[in-house]
Structure 1
Amino acid sequence: MAVFVLVHGGGHGGWCYQFVARRLRAEGHEVYTPSLTGLAEREHLLSPDIDLDMQITDVVKLLHFEDLRDVILVGHSYGGMVITGVADRAADRIDHLVYLDAANPVNGQSLVDVAGPLMLLARQMGRVVDGVELVLFPGNDPMSFYGVTDPDLIEWMKPKLTPHPWKCFEQKLVLDNEDALWAIPRSHIICTSTIDGRDIEALKATSDGRVWDIDTGHDLMITEPEAVTGYLLKIAAL
């Protein structure tokens, strides 16, 4: 049995992994899908203090309080920033890192550094609410960036999406335990449409060639849960 911790991306919550988590549990695996502070069912905790560091701490605390070890830690999109920080702080608890169409940062980078044009566009459409700068507002049709086209999935997602504090995307990642972090095996599951914007050879060099792509939109855990689960099971069997 493997232990999976699935970390969501911007504007989402643990709910976005329902289809994948259900399949992994059916195979006998232990699965955690935390929602980061200020998002989804934790949106009532929104405050000016929420940043990348706090959301990294969310997951580190989960690992410690649930006493999770040998974890396969998965991060989608912005979640790549989070899981990299988590692995830096809790390398002894992580067995494998999986970047799910995710940011793949190095020390000193923010998500704005990694994906500047997209994030700056999101900021232009943001707003300040109760002293907190927020981006990724659901709006009337939030699916263009997430790559979801199925009407039923769109209706399922719309009431669950929540705006995300901009500070999380602007804050730079600080790594203090890089030798242990970069020693953790890693894999990349990406969308075919994002290949052109990635250095695939560099990703393969740091993951023993484990770079797989799925021809779907950015929210691949929602649009292609069977394929995502298949790759996660392959990783668990390594």
Structure 2
Amino acid sequence: MTDFVLVPEAHTGGWVWGEVADRLRESGAGAHPVTLTGMRGHGAPPGPGTCLETHIRDVLRVVDALDGTDVVLVGHGYGIHPVVAAADRRAGRIARVVHLDAGMPQDGDPPLKLVPDQELRERFSGPAGRSGGDRRVAPPPPGAWERWGSTAGVPGDALARLAARAAPQPAGTLTEPLRLSGAGAALPTTGVLCTGNGSSIALVEGLVSLGHPGLQALTEPRVTFFELATGHWPMLSVPGELAEVLLRAAAGEGHRITATGEPPAHLRPFLLDVPERPRERHGRVDLYLPDAGGPRPAVVFVHGGPVPPGARPTPRDWPAFVGYGRRAAELGAVGVTLDHRLHEIGDFPRAAEDLAAAVELVRADPRVDAERVALWFFSAGGLLSADWLAAPPGWLRCLAATYPVLAPLPNWGLSAFRFRPASAVGGAGALPIVLTRVGRERPEIAATVEEFLAAAEHGAAAVEVVDLPDGRHGFETTDHGEQARGAVERALRTVLGHLRF
């Protein structure tokens, strides 16, 4: 018989698994919801020094009390940290580890690193905060649970129960570094991704294709994936579907990411056949120069991410950005590409600084007309557009975005207004905005585009939409059809038109 050990998200207890546990037992499996120390219910009250190690021991006690070796550990959100540590110490007893809408914690990382609540991360970022001490972190107030992940699909009564039964989290459970020996690294693993919270198999496949060494293990046969079309709390929103997925995961089912040996999508040829152009490299910035003399307008192309710091080639050498830079130069503008440091979700402020520095460098170049510049954002780089939308400078003649993310996804924890273009567009005034929308976009990203367009309409912003109904995210290197080429050309010529050639 398979025994499922169910470890909950922060601020909650074993009670949150009630319906899922019942359905697992009805199927003939064992179900063992865990209430971690200090989290109310049957757990011991928190005492001085309650920390991550305390919660690891809680999980180990449950594992050690079970017979047999067909034990599946399920960690939801924060709960994945004591789960992977317990699996590391009892690798011979564990049949599978399930990451339920949870990250991939690494040795030496405190759980706080993967907490989506940005304000909480900042509060504990200093040396005093990292020590944790005996402080306790209050749960989100009613109506603010989105800080810990999307509540999409959770019925009102269940959401009220979540708020009413939530318990303060001992700070040491979030700030103590995770310690792993590597003994559990080869265990079968399943990721259950909640698309309503911003996760998806397509997103994981895209990250793997970027060459991050820490993600290459996800292509191994022992690793499987499932998606659930709900928010971060599937045990409350879709308990039956979650129980079914857990049973299938225990049986070894699920989607597998395979390495095909072919170039990843972002390294395939650009859809336009653009001749080579002179290129100059200035630190993080590349300039593609037109033939025309005199100061020329410039278009700055801003890549998305996160892109791992060790990814090679870097984005400015990806065929799509090389192609855009060359084509802009061919049409008479200075094409500009850059490598900004969006390596992790928390790096948006640093990436924004890199972009601002690149713009300053470009506008200071005597070959550039400093009063005629366009900024063009791609994918998650779209969040960087908020700075420029909120208060457009006079020299910014056009802002473009292609398959952009225009509001933070729920599990990114970016609550600040600064990186919310859908909120900032109200300040855009008469700034021309050219948005290329792909019809086969990932639903979680498409929702941010529609939110942005609704806000733009309400604020009377000047948005022109270039629609590519059959297009996908990153289509420039995967679709060389006439419609795709036409969409790129139309967007380019529209942007350059606003630069008043």
- Distance of 1:83 and 1:112 partners within structure 2: 16
Query: Over aligned residue pairs, what C-alpha RMSD do you find?
Result: 2.6
1:189 is displaced (CA, Å) by 0.1
| Residue 81 (structure 2) pairs with residue 81 (structure 1) | yes
- Distance of 2:27 and 2:36 partners within structure 1: 26
**1:60-97: CA deviation from partner (whole Å, max 9, x where unpaired):** 11211344532011000001111110011111110000
Matches within 5 A, 1:55-70: 55-67=55-67, 69-70=69-70
Is the contact between residue 122 and residue 136 of structure 1 (CA under 8 Å) also seen in structure 2?
no
Match of 1:137 in 2: 139
**Aligned with 2:227 (options 208, 213, 219):** 213
- Distance of 1:156 and 1:135 partners within structure 2: 19
Match of 1:181 in 2: 184
Is the contact between residue 112 and residue 121 of structure 2 (CA under 8 Å) also seen in structure 1?
no
Matches within 5 A, 1:190-229: 190-192=193-195, 193-195=197-199, 199-200=204-205, 201=208, 202=215, 204-206=218-220, 208=222, 210-229=224-243
- SS of 1:188's equivalent in the other structure is strand
- Distance of 2:222 and 2:66 partners within structure 1: 30
Matches within 5 A, 1:89-238: 89-115=89-115, 118-122=116-120, 132-144=134-146, 145-148=148-151, 149-176=154-181, 178=182, 180-192=183-195, 193-195=197-199, 199-200=204-205, 201=208, 202=215, 204-206=218-220, 208=222, 210-238=224-252
1:205 is displaced (CA, Å) by 1.7
- Distance of 1:165 and 1:194 partners within structure 2: 27
Match of 2:130 in 1: none
- Distance of 2:221 and 2:10 partners within structure 1: 25
Higher helix fraction (1 or 2): 1
| AA at the equivalent of 1:159 | A
- Distance of 1:218 and 1:14 partners within structure 2: 16
- SS of 2:245's equivalent in the other structure is helix
1:181 is displaced (CA, Å) by 0.5
- SS of 1:95's equivalent in the other structure is strand
Match of 2:54 in 1: 54
Say how many residue pairs are matched: 231
**1:97-128: CA deviation from partner (whole Å, max 9, x where unpaired):** 0000013111111122334xx344136789xx
Q: Highest CA radius of gyration, 1 or 2? A: 2
**TM-score, normalization: structure 1?**
0.86
Unaligned 5+ segments in structure 2 are 125-132, 209-214, 253-501
Sort the Cα spacing of 1:163 and 1:124 in 2 relative to 1 into closer, same or farther, 3 A: farther
| AA at the equivalent of 2:61 | K
Match of 2:10 in 1: 10
- SS of 2:83's equivalent in the other structure is helix
Sort the Cα spacing of 1:206 and 1:222 in 2 relative to 1 into closer, same or farther, 3 A: farther
1:146 is displaced (CA, Å) by 4.3
Sort the Cα spacing of 1:83 and 1:211 in 2 relative to 1 into closer, same or farther, 3 A: same
Larger RCO of the pair (alpha carbons < 8 Å, separation 6+): 1
